[in-house]
Amino acid sequence: MLYKLIYTLQDQVSWVNVFRYITFRTILATLFSLAFVLIIGEWVIQRLRVMQVGQQIREDGPPNHKGKAGTPTMGGCLILPVVLITALLWAELRNVYVWLVLFVLCSFGAIGFADDYLKTVQKSSRGLRGKTKFSLQAASALIVAAILYIYPGFDTQLNVPFFKQVMPDLGPGYILLAAFIIVGASNAVNLTDGLDGLAAGPIVIAFTSYIVFSYLAGNIKTAGYLQIPYVPGTGELSVLCGAVVGAGLGFLWFNAYPADLFMGDVGSLPLGAVLGTVAVLTKQEVVLVLVGGIFVVETLSVIFQVAYFKITKGRRIFRMAPLHHHFELKGWPESKVTVRFWIIAIILVLLSFSTLKLR
């Protein structure tokens, strides 16, 4: 809590009062994490190369991906520590929501690290078994959801955009819903991480929107004016979201086409889980479907492809799933697929902001 130490100087230096404002600390967290990643990024990439932590390419993947084999992966090992350190420095550590998000970051990060380690270092073709990975994810998400259920400052109502009177109380069922959102978001981001910059861009865009949602939900005046659920304490999540945005932008510096570093499961799984957790904490669970529309569509493309393949005994809807590979095989350059997905992600976030007032 570096800002607390600085704030003790308020009697001697009046301008340090700005450190008590969430908006100012969010800006600091964003810039700090961005600078941190840019400073240590090259060193991390070199260490991963020395350790021979290279990307393994699917044999059935697009032909133009063959040249990416051996590119350093596990870039989440760069992102996660930076987000964690930034949060510890600039966020209010007496806030229970901050610790819940950090728990998700670390637990899902450990799951992703184990999976990547088995694939890249131990040269296991499968990594963690699917059932093991899902069980660990579900256990972590259920712990967070159960804590929220018993926490006195948090309710189990579901906020439905555009219908201000529709807020069903799910009771104990909210535990399952919250866990589903966290695990679902984690795996959705993981599926999207298939092209240079494809996952990192929408992640930065989505977390930028939740900087706004977190701040509004934690401010009683703006929450009342916009008729959204007021959740005391969630304003501090803006600082955490800012840390992710800064680290994500820094990572994009190295992950932009042609990528020098891939995110890996150690990055995509925890970042997706944190996005889902913040959506739950700010009571913007349904809006996440719009904010993370790219992740949702990518996931649905896999589900539909597999289901249709089984039903029709070998026929396909898309040339390849997830969806971004379909466009690649149609002849779109990789960079064009990525940038167009970014544009769609921005449009979806702008539409999500419309839910704040159209109630």
Bridge partner residues of 157 (DSSP): 169
pLDDT of residue 66: 56
pLDDT of residue 331: 85
Euclidean distance between CA atoms 214 and 235, whole angstroms: 5
Provide the whole-model pTM: 0.92
Euclidean distance between CA atoms 162 and 358, whole angstroms: 6
Q: How is residue 323 written in tokens?
A: 């969806």
pLDDT in tens, 57-71: 655 556 565 556 678
Euclidean distance between CA atoms 287 and 222, whole angstroms: 18
Q: Which band of pLDDT confidence, cut at 50, 70 and 90, is reported for residue 121?
A: confident
pLDDT in tens, 281-338: 999 999 999 999 999 999 999 999 999 888 888 888 888 888 888 888 888 898 899 9
Q: CA torsion sign, 162 to 348 to 61 to 115?
A: negative
Q: Are 16 and 78 in contact (CB under 8 A)?
A: no
Rounded average pLDDT over 197-224: 94
pLDDT of residue 140: 97
